[in-house]
Amino acid sequence: MLNKIQQDVQNRMNKSVASLKNSFSKIRAGRAHPSLLEQIHVDYYSSMVPLSQVADINAEDSRTLKVSPWEKDMVAVIEKAIMTSDLGLNPQTMGEVIRIPLPPLTQERRGELVKVVKNEAEQAKVAIRNIRRDANSDFKELFKKKEISEDEARKAEDDIQKITDTYIKEIETKLGEKENALLEI
């Protein structure tokens, strides 16, 4: 029973860290990366699909993304979707290829992005702590039902705290890496 709860805690905490990594990948650190366009969806025959399902996305160089639609008709649709996204990008169409130059980040914009990254990390830490709280309440419930002893409950809570500390440390590491990448000129 205790092992099952601990396994569930680890799975949920892994998902929280994975979600944080995903959020971080969408925040650009000055370099062009295809993942910047992951959240863009385009109208493809009356259904909204991710951009990656209708075009090839590549980093041409450190400041330019290249989008190559698989169908000629999609060029204008993709260009419009990129322009209307909240990424602040201005695509340039050259025949069947769309090039997206990424403007250099200003110091002010870097500061804003660091705040966003810190907020994302804090939300991940809160999620980790909530998972710990849920597990600890499960242990207390088992103790009240006399399914485990008080010593077992305390040991299980200590184990969960160690797991929590490990994941919080991992979040701090990821935050530091992303901050350094953002502040790097």
CATH superfamily, with its number, for domain 2-26+106-183: Ribosome-recycling factor (1.10.132.20)
The predicted pLDDT at position 160 comes to 94
pLDDT band of 14, cuts 50, 70, 90: very high
pLDDT in tens, 73-100: 888 888 888 888 766 778 888 888 999 8
CB atoms within 10 A of CB 89: 17
Give me the amino acid identity at 16. S
Q: Given a cut of 70, is residue 180 above it in pLDDT? A: yes
Question: In degrees rounded to 5, what are phi and psi of residue 10?
Answer: -65, -40
Q: Given a cut of 80, is residue 176 above it in pLDDT? A: yes
- The structure tokens listed for 144 are 């009240």
Residue 41 and residue 34: Cα distance in Å, rounded? 14
Nearest one of 34, 20, 175, 183 to 102, comparing CA atoms: 34
CATH of domain 34-101: 3.30.1360.40
Between residues 105 and 78, which one has the greater pLDDT? Answer: 78
Residues paired with 55 in a beta bridge: 69
Least confident window among 5-19, 98-112, 146-160: 98-112
Three-state SS string over the chain comes to CHHHHHHHHHHHHHHHHHHHHHHHHCCCCCCCCHHHHCCCEEEECCEEEEHHHCEEEEEEECCEEEEEECCCCHHHHHHHHHHHCCCCCCCEEECCEEEEECCCCCHHHHHHHHHHHHHHHHHHHHHHHHHHHHHHHHHHHHHHCCCCCHHHHHHHHHHHHHHHHHHHHHHHHHHHHHHHHHHCC
pLDDT in tens, 122-170: 999 999 999 999 999 999 998 899 888 989 989 999 999 999 999 999 9
Q: Given a cut of 70, is residue 30 above it in pLDDT? A: no
The predicted pLDDT at position 167 comes to 95
> Taking the domains of the chain in order of start, what are their residue ranges?
2-26+106-183, 34-101
- Against a cut of 0.75, is the pTM above it? no
Q: Which residue has the tokens 């597990």?
A: 135
Residue 39 and residue 59: Cα distance in Å, rounded? 16
pLDDT in tens, 45-83: 888 888 888 888 888 887 888 999 988 888 888 888 888
Segment 52-57 long-range contacts (CB within 8 Å, at least 24 positions apart): 54/78, 55/98
